[in-house]
Structure 1
């Protein structure tokens, strides 16, 4: 009973202190150039926490089995498996070199307890001499020296062995697009005139597809520059029926990846003295657009020495990436938009040029997707990355010193351009953007440990110096922007751990300084406190453990000076003018900003019930003050500290592991529940409802008291009872101004991970369900407006429809309307009367989905019962099963920007990938 009281006492007290999590993932994280990078932010999507990597790209982050880690702004993801996780103490212990305590020999002590016996076989009494043939290990003796009358020192020759191993991996992937909006394939380009449906050809520059039914039309087979089959006329005898054109820009493509890793090392006995590692890689990644791909080549070399306990490590990394095009100017979104809007009566693929050498498109106000893809240069994007590392470490008993130096350079080259006659740029436009980055990092880490396994204390000091420079040049305006930052981090830590047979407790206390030349305030008080209490075998039940944990952390940071904020230019444009989007200017500078200050605390519990069931739960609360957002002022792009917001939520998981179904068949299951909210607490005066993403007439915003990134747009006018007001024409009335119409934040996310193992075969299935959250479907708005959407094709013949609502006098509406009255102008029909974006409120859709992220089947084949292994894996990624919104995958972002979730304006469809990977370990 006394143990139970102690349990509750410590459970109550642990919330004063804290620790990050029960289990942690540790490893080296690579940036988008596959290079280790210091201060790379690694996010746990399930828990919402993030950590920064050290100078070698190494980071320790709280995680649970099958959590998803994200870095490089979401471009890299990794699903954590259970065997990748360890207790924090084990991770720290593994990084500290250990030595066994040596026995102390005392001749006086031996003489006092041992009766001396004359040893006739001792060396001094031996009647024989040592010769080459005396023993088979004779040649292992390097030196024999008599220290005193009874002690001889024997030095052996350490055998040196050369080892060579590695692995070769090759894979190929077949990619295709996921879902896209369904369009109508019945009505041609045109509109109603004088009460009749009329086809209006490309020479009329008609943009609408409210023309006649294509089944009533045929080709006259006369010479016509816009169609090799002729113009469309009413179908009659001798006229060939018109056909539906569907020039699909999407293709099923194949990419590949090859990687060779070779390790050569020399060992003396059990100790490794020298290691040389070489990693060569090549990858071709095909898009689902024809002839759009990128090629990546990597070389990574490392050389490690162990000289009498002094560890020296050197590294060299080179990465080169070339791509036909990137989406920096929303190039692919533009292609996709024009593909969806092309009428069924026009073929883009017949020819891309007219006789006057201008582009051939269905209207001078639209582009031909194949014309946009027609380019002289093979590669319009290139980057290369070089990194050099040097590390020295040495341990003297309880003290360890680690010195690290690294230098990295990056060069990015973009050639963004549109040819003459492109909509919005009749004379053509081009911009050569060159960005050169350099990073220097220096780190000194020292730690001193006291105690033993049962009571350990570790004192750590870490000094980190970072010097970053970035030069950006845009040829369009002949502008050059130069940024430079030197920052210093001083980190002090104290770790204490108590380990008994049925009780374990850990405590971490620390403080850090942050000093930077670009910040207008330095921080010298950034404390943190972490603690956990673990009770083992509670109630004397074997392997039934209970753990309470918590943490408090303060952190200061600044925006990365190598990041471009040029995409914010969209907020200056109305959606109808999106074709003018061509970012070619950068933020003015990063100086004079306050640091972004974060205060975070967590509290959680963990239960281990036997050897198969683990239950974990955590609540987190992160307050972010002085967060930075871009703004346009005085026709310049600037950064400002604008808002405070609080990110909080819950993270729960249930694991059921090592379940035996039958002989040689085992399974593991994990279910995780994640729910969060991010509420804006305060916005600087004058900036409330500031657009942070999207267009000028539909955008995500900062709004005090509301979720961060809530969507604002137009809405229907309603009375005080919430009834829709109907205008004198019988249609709902559009209100003036904007209001909050959608919240992208989901109610919760449930992730399911299943693993089945049978002998050498392994099957993994990962899927998730996202419930709640909303998305504005701007793609459907524009398709409706031009008559290209499936629904506008189905409903355009609806007549005598009465909208539910009241008129301006408060009486129930009784005015019957036709969705498309042939006697009225096309701009008066149901879908076009409200303008290009319609009424935004009417296009808010739920963003719920259920999808399979990954299915993989692997088989391992040992070769001749050695360490050599052949592994064969088949996999499929991102198979979307069901989504509530109409159109693209709801996880896709607006114009591929980091904060564009919740807006769909011709968002690109996601990839569906089928692949095979073969790996040979030698």
Structure 2
């Protein structure tokens, strides 16, 4: 027994010694090479393992190293990565040099794979969290405007919670989604919503749900080679978001960051309205008349004589009569005109967010909460958003790591009616005569409405804002679970399961006596979305020789998208102001489901030779349920290469001038499958109507009814494919004080899907088929320079892009396709023309393009042009000729000043609002209606021939006319009565997109406090706007986040904002 005890003790002792021999503790300190100051937050990793830590506030660290590990890797943003052999050392201290060239910068690419920027054969632009913090936009997508070459962002309106539409390098699909995929920590998420109609409300896209303060960085993947591994969903590019993770950047166990800001918003641009003429027609005041072609107000007075004051509840100031009329009452004062823009309020946005990060070298965590409340510039337009995020990571052992995150996002929007909508706020507001006070009351005690049309026509804007409500609520969960297993120092397995769930509920109601639905209406809807994504990755990273390294990733992906919608409408309410489905006997419902499954296998093979020559090849095969079951598999490859030519010995002599230079090239094929249920002809809910009334919707009178869809299915569909190639160069001069990144790209899409109109005799209206082709080619330039770099530093960055997006071909027998708009004008896709062409009617012209002016003195249109309504013509393209963003940043000690100029050259927009206001006589331009306000139309004189055709005489027009009611109201001078072309305007601009001024308190001021970091800042957005456009901010769009851009018809206006905030760290 004694011998056994001694033996056991010896075994235990040797066991302890053996364990101690297997691991050892390394300590040390990290400093800055230039001044020997401590560097907190430096990441220290044991190479080939998942073991790591960060340095504390003194730059010191401690890490436990396994026996077989022999290298530590030190990395920090803005510093050169350092690898140190451990050997027999127990204390390793280093000095890190500044990475002036930033050639070791790591970017996140497709499927979450991290790559050195210098190794990429395609263009990627990174946006850091500091950009989002300075922009302070509720929707992070708007923060990207002007920051990325080739990325165009359009904010649909200035309404609270409005949507944003974005494209990368133009459109790739004719009728499909053209927005890039958004990926958060490797998980694709839905950015749907925000697509509007010509009426209704401005909705949010789902990108608005994300908390900008949770974002650590954004990588914008542009070309096909950059997104090929993501497959179908990233056919239009990708926005790769990396969120903040656990671990303290200060080296403390726990760090807390808090950011609070408040901003104030005002409408930034509105149409000018006239205040000289009153309500009525032909110079006479008429109570309740729709137009403002009444008398000159300076010649009028009020009267409250009952013989003329017939509608005192509406015309509260009195009837309007001539000053010399015996019934005029001078005691009532001069005629009042009202500033209808007093309707708008000052909006505000309150934003508060806090995050807690911490952990050890084994486990880390990150928690965040945010609260954002936005009050719009229109009464009762509100948007509120709350987010909660948890992220965690733990190392089970030296080879196995588990991580995951979950976000709960919730928001509520109170929306306001807009657009071509008799209950729209802007429509009723801008058509109101200058003498009618909408604010004097919008509802009578009996529940009827007070409007300038005597209760008819259009809703009083205050009525709409208070009585016609649209509310929507969204509850959303985004999360992922990830396992990483290090089989050896060169083989890693990763499995990631992600999900994006959200429920959206909305309630839309119109009060009894509303103009859109006089009997009242309630619609209650819900939409459920369930998006699953699974990735399995096996990564092999191996040195094949001293100068050759291989990186190979083999992967499998599965995804499923399920959605469900139920919408119920009650028409004709029995009880006023009781907005419940039970308050009507006329109930109709709509229900639909949507299910798409996709699977894929892919490979990514890369080689690096001597860190200057890089080659990458990818291949992916997809299967999709939206394609025919016997032909739903398709493969697409990509190739890219990069050559860092400044690594050549022959060029080392010029490294002081050109320390870094790279050329790159790539080729890829990307694909996009069809939308669901187009391979067969589905049955749909039967309905019939005339387009004006609600019509008949089944179930009807106790009978259900279904009918085949108007669109005939196609069992031979194949995926859309886009072939892309790109070449570029990345040059850094003079110690990275000057840089230039230039890219040329060429994309060509084939087999593009579209509905083709077919003969009604077939029993169908359209046939869905692969028929179209479209190209997009252009140039992108990213340049930067640091003119001054001392205590005071000045940085300039320029992003420039010029894109030519052309529809090359449509289906046989089809020359154009309607994308959106009205009967006139329309946004179309037309073969041989730029995508998003505006079509409308023009003036009669001669063979040289001169406008023909009627010179027949006996003609009622003498001196005026004549509309050509024979067919619509192409007026021009919506998309700009080029865009550019110029950012200036100045830093001095703790002070930072930065501002971004956003420039858009060209691009057309239909100003339908101006066209309508010409007809109603409320636009400022219609003030020139007196006989002395003579005008000469530009063009050539023309005479009518015997066949009724207007023929040019060749003589330049000099006929003087007056543009009065006969032109604008009865003639062809308005958007209602004349050709479209007069209301197509240049929508280009120069705007001060962002302004930021902040002060970060010096550490010595905070040393004796519990505050680690403190920054006070002021910011502004859209503070200056220079544009020739005569309407509201031309960045807005009637149809929201849709392919049909360039429409302004009583849109919600844009806004400018300014505010201040406080950011603190503890």
Q: Do Structure 1 and Structure 2 share a fold, with TM-score over 0.5?
A: yes
Q: How does 1:144-159 map to 2 (within 5 A)?
A: none
Partner of 1:148: none
**Aligned to 2:928, what secondary structure does the other structure show?**
helix
TM-score by length of 1: 0.77
1:245 to 338, 341, 355: 338
Counterpart of 2:424?
334
How far residue 388 of structure 1 moved from its aligned partner, in angstroms, is 3.8
* 1:303 Cα offset (Å): 2.7
Task: State the partner residue of 1:427.
Answer: 519
Matched, 1:191 2:281: yes
> Deviation at 1:871?
1.5
Match of 1:102 in 2: none
Determine the C-alpha separation between the residues in 1 that align with 2:208 and 2:504: 20
Q: CA deviation at 1:280?
A: 1.0
| Matched-pair contact (CA < 8 Å) for 1:365–1:423 | yes
Of residues 282, 289, 293 in structure 1, which corresponds to 2:378? Answer: 289
Shift of 1:314: 3.0
Residue 692 (1) aligns with residue 819 (2): yes
Cα contact 1:799–1:817 (8 A) shared by 2: no
Show CA shifts across 1:477-533 (max 9, x none). Answer: 411111100001211110111225xxx011100100111111234343200001010
Instruction: Spell out the pairing of 1:771-920 with structure 2 (5 A cutoff).
Output: 771-798=905-932, 803=937, 804-805=939-940, 806-807=942-943, 808-811=950-953, 812=955, 818-819=961-962, 827-829=969-971, 831-832=973-974, 836=976, 838-861=978-1001, 862=1003, 863-864=1006-1007, 868-920=1012-1064
Q: Any conservation in 1 of the 2:209–2:411 contact (CA below 8 Å)?
A: no
Match of 2:349 among 255, 275, 282: 255
The aligned counterpart of 1:456 is 549
CA–CA distance in structure 1, aligned partners of residues 668 and 979 of structure 2:
45
1:56 aligns with 2:185: yes
Q: Secondary structure at the match of 2:273?
A: coil
- Check the 8 A contact 2:421/2:516 in 1, yes or no: no
Assess, with a 3 A threshold, how the Cα gap between structure 1 residues 513 and 84 changes in structure 2: closer, same or farther: closer
Q: Find the partner of 1:655 among 767, 784, 792.
A: 784
* Distance in 2 separating the partners of 1:742 and 1:474: 39
In the TM superposition, what whole-angstrom CA distance separates every residue of 1:649-702 from its partner, at most 9, and x where no partner exists?
A: 001132113722xx5101111223210110001111354222101112211101
Equivalent residue, structure 1, for 2:107: none
Tell me, yes or no, if the aligned pair for 2:728 and 2:742 is still in contact at 8 Å.
yes
Distance in 1 (alpha carbons) for counterparts of 2:689 and 2:791: 62
In structure 2, how many angstroms separate the alpha carbons of the residues matched to 1:721 and 1:388?
A: 63
Q: In the alignment, is residue 320 of structure 1 matched against residue 406 of structure 2?
A: no
Unpaired segments of 5 or more residues in structure 1?
A: 1-16, 36-41, 60-69, 93-160, 563-571
Say which SS state the counterpart of residue 459 (structure 2) adopts: coil
Measured after TM superposition, the shift of residue 411 of structure 1 is: 0.8
Aligned partner of 2:457 in structure 1 is: 365
Distance in 2 between residues matched to 1:892 and 1:77, nearest whole Å: 23
Q: Which has the higher contact order (CA 8 A, sep 6+)?
A: 2
Cα distance in 1, alignment partners of residues 673 and 129 from structure 2: 24
1:764 pairs, out of 898, 923, 929, with 898
TM-score (norm 2): 0.67
Secondary structure at 1:212 match in 2:
coil
Q: In the alignment, is residue 496 of structure 1 matched against residue 639 of structure 2?
A: no
2:807 matched to 1:716?
no
Q: How does 1:366-765 map to 2 (within 5 A)?
A: 366-375=458-467, 380-397=471-488, 398-451=490-543, 454-476=547-569, 477-499=588-610, 504-520=612-628, 521-536=631-646, 538=651, 540-543=653-656, 544=658, 545-558=660-673, 594-611=718-735, 612-628=737-753, 641=770, 643-657=772-786, 659-660=788-789, 663-727=790-854, 728=859, 729-730=861-862, 731-736=864-869, 737-765=871-899
| Deviation of 1:636 (Å) | 8.7
| Distance verdict in 2 for CA 1:252–1:483, change over 3 Å | same
Distance 1:874 1:639 in 2: 53
Displacement after TM superposition at 1:898 (Å): 2.3
> Structure 1 residue 28: deviation in Å?
15
Residues 491, 412 of structure 1: alpha-carbon distance in 2 compared, 3 angstrom cutoff? same
Equivalent pairs counted in the alignment come to 786
* Cα RMSD (Å): 4.1
Whole-Å Cα distance in 2 between the matches of residues 579 and 169 of structure 1? Answer: 52
Residue 388 (structure 2) aligns with:
299
Q: Which residue of 2 aligns with 1:155?
A: none
Would the alpha carbon gap of residues 387 and 827 (structure 1) be closer, same or farther in structure 2, given more than 3 Å must change?
closer
For the residues of structure 2 that align with 1:44 and 1:333, how far apart are their CA atoms? 38
Distance change (3 Å), C-alpha of 1:183 and 1:799? closer
Alpha-carbon distance change, 312 to 83 in structure 1, aligned in 2, over 3 angstroms = closer
Distance 1:388 1:882, change over 3 A: closer
Q: Tell whether the 8 Å contact from 1:770 to 1:848 is kept in structure 2 after alignment.
A: yes
Structure 2: stretches of 5+ with no match in the other structure? 1-118, 142-147, 153-167, 171-178, 189-203, 227-250, 570-587, 678-687, 699-705, 944-949
- Residues 706-736 of structure 1 show CA distances to partners (whole Å, capped at 9, x for unaligned) of 0001000011111223232334321211112
